[in-house]
Amino acid sequence: MRADHRHSNPDALSRLLYAASRIYGGAVSLRNSGFDKGLLSVRRLPCPVISIGNITAGGTGKTPMALYMARLMRQMGYRPAVISRGYRGKAEKAGAVVTDGHHLFADCATAGDEPFMMASVLKGVPVLVGRNRFQSGMRAVAAFDSDVIVLDDAFQHRRLHRDLDLVLLDAAHPLGNRHVLPRGSLREPVSGLKRADAVILTRSPSREAGESLPREISGHVPVFCADHVPFLSGIYGQSDCLGKEFSGREGSEQLSFLGAARVFAFSGIARNQEFLNTLSGYVGSLAGFSPYPDHYCYSTRDLEQIEQKAISASADCLITTEKDYVRIAGRLPAGLPLVVMGVEMRFLNNDESGFVALLRRKLLETKLETRS
């Protein structure tokens, strides 16, 4: 009897997840239909809006893509502002200016870790947070004369009109198991991809990843390939014991000094395993790894335990991500140096020129629509 009961649990859980997914998927589809038919209102900003989002939950590279877009807009002569919800930040509900592009006005706890990280590294680009993206956008236009808005993680935020919808998909698992939450990782049914103006396959070092796409993507929307390229963001603490001088954000080749190091890693991001996989190509040996949930708020005790584990494992240094670093700055472990690894979005050569051409065309169309 016990064995039968034990074997029935997975089936019961599967049925529960299936039912919950059907309810969730139905609700999302109903909401999307309301926007598609004009039954739900959409507000429009007085400047172009570029949305960066995904259709699966977490870990596709939205933040590196938002940084790439903000810098690209600056290079093209625009005055961009980045707007994020500020997930789990104290200012999420009321909204706030994190930076005017020159000075920080909010800390990590107020802004949320990802917006604060973007504000810390972007130069000359305002970053704002708030659940009401229209309100934040109007604030950016009024206060900073922004003429293009980059929306971070906003594909499902349909209350604000966007002129270019970019959807990021992981090249290895673009649609997960094809089920919506909670049975799968999809935030909405795959049919939502029809709203995308372009799909960007991330973690895609070659064009081969774009040659066997699901039918919902292939042939229906422009597809571009980009890779997550790691770089040395910083070294903190006793950096001299690593024999490495650090003078600013440096490229991936500057991570080569880790080839002679024994490192202890920790991270609290959507895909901790991806961080670990990336490290394997650079570090001499891995002394250990402590994974935490995404957006994890490290306590002083957590940091002490991480350091104790690293010292016990004879590690030369600790290593973590930029996103984790902004949550622990000012509370760094004292006994070992800390290496911080960042990630930047880099398109394949031919894909970048095609992507920029699409972007210019969309911005021109928006400008002509505004004039008419």
Q: How does DSSP assign 336-368, residue by residue?
A: S-EEEEEEEEEE-HHHHHHHHHHHHHHHHHHHH
110-124, 194-208, 283-297: which range is least confident on average?
A: 194-208
Tokens of 114: 């990802």
In the predicted structure, residue 257 carries a pLDDT above the cut 70: yes
pLDDT of 130: 98
Report field, pTM of the whole predicted structure over 0.75: yes
Kindly indicate the confidence band of residue 237, based on its pLDDT and cuts at 50, 70 and 90.
Answer: confident
How many CB atoms neighbour CB 181 within 10 A? 18
Tokens of 144: 């900073």
pLDDT of 318: 95
Average pLDDT over residues 147-170: 97
Which of 92, 84, 137 shows the shortest CA–CA distance to 110?
A: 92
Distance CA 1, CA 257 (A): 59
In the predicted structure, residue 162 carries a pLDDT above the cut 70: yes
In the predicted structure, residue 332 carries a pLDDT above the cut 50: yes
Domain ranges (residues) in the chain: 49-221, 228-345
More confident of the two residues 243 and 28: 28
In the predicted structure, residue 187 carries a pLDDT above the cut 50: yes
pLDDT of 245: 56
Average pLDDT over residues 121-128: 97
Average pLDDT over residues 156-179: 94
Average pLDDT over residues 266-270: 96
Kindly indicate the confidence band of residue 369, based on its pLDDT and cuts at 50, 70 and 90.
Answer: confident
pLDDT of 58: 81
What's the residue count for the chain?
372
How many CB atoms neighbour CB 188 within 10 A? 21
pLDDT of 172: 87
CATH numeric code, 228-345: 3.40.50
pLDDT of 249: 60
In the predicted structure, residue 365 carries a pLDDT above the cut 80: yes
In the CATH scheme, what architecture does the domain 49-221 have?
3-Layer(aba) Sandwich (3.40)
pLDDT of 3: 47
Average pLDDT over the chain reads 90
pLDDT of 246: 58
Distance CA 108, CA 123 (A): 17
In the predicted structure, residue 331 carries a pLDDT above the cut 60: yes
pLDDT of 270: 92
Query: Where in the chain does DSSP place strands (E)?
Result: 49-54, 80-84, 96-99, 127-129, 148-152, 164-170, 198-202, 223-236, 262-267, 285-291, 317-321, 338-347
In the predicted structure, residue 263 carries a pLDDT above the cut 80: yes
42-46, 154-158, 223-227, 250-254: which range is least confident on average?
A: 250-254
